[in-house]
Structure 1
Amino acid sequence: MRSKIAGMANVEHRTVLGAMRSSGFFENLDEEALQLIRPTARRVHQPKNTVVFNEGEECRGFYIVESGAVKLYKESMDAKEHVLHIATPGDCFGEAALFLGTGYPASAAAVQNSDLILLRKDEFLQLLRERPEVSFRLMASMATWAHRLVSSIEALTLKDAGARFAAYLLAEAKTPKDGTVVDLGMPKQVLASHLGMTGETLSRLLARFESDGLVAARGRRVQLLSVDGLEEIAEYGSG
Structure 2
Amino acid sequence: MEQKSRASNQGDHQYRQRIRDLLAQTPLFSELPVEQLDPLVRGTRKVRAQRGEIIFHRGDPCVGFHTVIFGQVKLVYVSAVGVERVVRLIGPGDSFGEALMFLEKDYIITAEALCDTLLLHVAREALFDRLDRDPRLARRMLVSLSRRLFMLMGDVGAYTMRSGQQRLIGYLFREARGRFGEPFRVEVTKGVIASRLNLTPEHFSRMLRELSERHLIRVRGREFTILDPEGLQAVHG
TM normalised by structure 1 equals 0.78
Select the residue among 211, 225, 228 that pairs with 2:230. 228
Partner of 1:36: 36
Query: Could you give the per-residue CA deviations for residues 31-88 of structure 1, whole angstroms, max 9, x where no partner exists?
Result: 1378735635454332111101001101132122333332212222222323222223
Any stretches of 5+ residues in structure 2 without a counterpart? 1-6
Pair 1:6–1:77, CA change in 2 (3 A)? closer
CA distance in 2, matches of 1:151, 1:202: 20
Match of 1:98 in 2: 101
Q: Would the alpha carbon gap of residues 153 and 33 (structure 1) be closer, same or farther in structure 2, given more than 3 Å must change?
A: farther
For the residues of structure 2 that align with 1:145 and 1:163, how far apart are their CA atoms?
22
Maintained 8 Å contact 2:19/2:44: no
Structure 2 distance, partners of 1:205, 1:131, is: 49
- Per the alignment, residue 67 of structure 2 pairs with 64
Which of residues 68, 87, 91 in structure 2 aligns to 1:88?
A: 91
Residues 133 and 222 of structure 1, relative CA distance in 2, 3 Å threshold: closer
Instruction: Give the corresponding residue for 2:24.
Output: 17
Give the 4+ runs in structure 1 shifted more than 4 A: 5-15, 40-43
1:197 Cα deviation from its structure 2 partner? 0.9
Cα distance between partner residues in 2 of 1:12 and 1:175: 36
Query: How far has the Cα of 1:96 moved from its partner?
Result: 1.9
Structure-1 separation of matches of 2:209 and 2:99: 38
Aligned equivalents of 1:63, 1:34: Cα separation in 2: 20
CA contact (8 A) 2:159 2:198 kept: yes
Give the 3-state SS of the residue equivalent to 2:89 in structure 1.
strand
RMSD of equivalent CA atoms: 3.2
TM-score by length of 2: 0.79
- Structure of greater Rg: 2
The 8 Å contact of residues 85 and 194 in structure 1, kept in 2 or not, is answered as yes
Aligned-partner SS, 2:32 = helix
The alignment status of 1:153 with 2:153, answered yes or no, reads: no
Name the structure 2 match of 1:117: 120
Aligned counterpart for 1:207 among listed residues 166, 189, 209 = 209
Is 1:188 the counterpart of 2:190? The answer is yes
Change (3 A) 1:174 1:137: same
Q: Which segment drifts farther, 31-40 or 95-104?
A: 31-40
Q: Say which SS state the counterpart of residue 32 (structure 1) adopts.
A: coil
Between the aligned residues of both structures, percent identity stands at 26
Task: For residue 222 of structure 1, give the secondary structure of its aligned residue in structure 2.
Answer: strand
Q: How many residues align?
A: 227
Does structure 2 conserve the Cα–Cα contact (< 8 Å) formed by 1:41 and 1:120?
A: yes
- Please say if residues 169 and 182 of structure 1, whose CA atoms lie closer than 8 Å, have aligned partners that are also in contact: no
Mapped contact 1:176–1:227 kept (Cα < 8 A): no
